[in-house]
Amino acid sequence: MSNTMENKTAIVTGSGRGIGKATAIKLAELNVNVVLTSRTESELNEVFTLINSNNKGNAEYLSGDISNIDFIDKLFQFTRSKFETIDYLINNAAILKINQFEKMSIEDWDMSMNVNLRSQFLTCQKAFEYMKNNNPAGGVIVNVASLSGVYGKMKFKGFSAYNVSKYGVIGLTEILGLEGKQCKIRVNCVSPGAVDTIMLREGWPDIKPENTPEKIADVITFLLSDASNSINGKNIFATAY
């Protein structure tokens, strides 16, 4: 079976660790050019070195604030300068601020909305602009949300900011799936249950997650591939298996 993802280019946000790191490595193994981005340059450099030490890997990285519109402009320009095209966007960057609602600070609330939701709005908008005007074949976007942002699923105390931001990501995905059709842009969302990441362990040390970043990376990769061409505007639950 031919690899239809080979030589395409992906931007992966929050790719210094966790799901983003696992996704970037998985894509590089499929000969996808990967641009890594997060706030922490040391983590990005580690993933960059790991990918490029593999003969199949081809990665670049740029550190910065993914909720900042100027940085996003810089990120997309950087990607085009390195690899010419942008075929995939994986919106994975997120933070987890846990506190009882009445004690949640405005600063933590705003930071959660900025990193978890505003960044996805801005990067999707930029990707739409680029893919519509420069990619005749369109492109694919995968947003990472959470089961905690799904209506009717179990909620946990202290997760108000995280929950609301992830509800927003799911809603954004649904409307972008509709609006992207006319320019051949598919947009889907992955909502994992608890995943064994540094972010979750730091925020909720007592939890014992059964999901791994690598399993979520498999789901994301499937949604990017031609095998999922009939899936658009959907939120995929990714629980432990």
The arrangement of strands across the sheet holding 88-91 comes to 59-61, 33-37, 9-13, 88-91, 139-144, 185-192, 235-238
Q: Give me the mean pLDDT over the 47-62 stretch.
A: 88
CATH number of the domain bearing residue 187? 3.40.50.720
Q: Considering the domain boundaries, does residue 53 fall inside one?
A: yes
Helices (H) and strands (E) in the chain, counts: 8, 7
In a domain, 1, yes or no: no
Residue 2 pLDDT level (bands cut at 50, 70, 90): very low
Full domain range(s) for residue 43? 9-238
Catalytic residue among 61, 151, 162, 241: 162
Q: What is the pTM of this model?
A: 0.91
Query: Could you tell me if residue 4 is inside a domain?
Result: no
**Is 167 considered catalytic here?**
no
Q: What's the pLDDT at 1?
A: 33
Count of the separate structural domains present in the chain: 1
The reply to whether 157 falls in a domain is yes
187 class by beta-carbon count within 10 Å (0-12 exposed, 13-18 middle, 19+ buried): buried
Has residue 2 been placed in a domain?
no
Span 84-141, pLDDT tens digits: 999 999 999 999 898 999 999 999 999 999 999 999 999 999 999 999 999 989 999 9
Summarize pLDDT for 163-219 with one digit per residue, the tens. Answer: 999 999 999 999 999 999 999 999 999 988 655 555 655 655 666 657 788 899 999
Strands 59-61 and 235-238: unpaired
> Residue 129: inside a domain, yes or no?
yes
Spatial contact of 70 and 38, defined as CB atoms under 8 Å apart: no
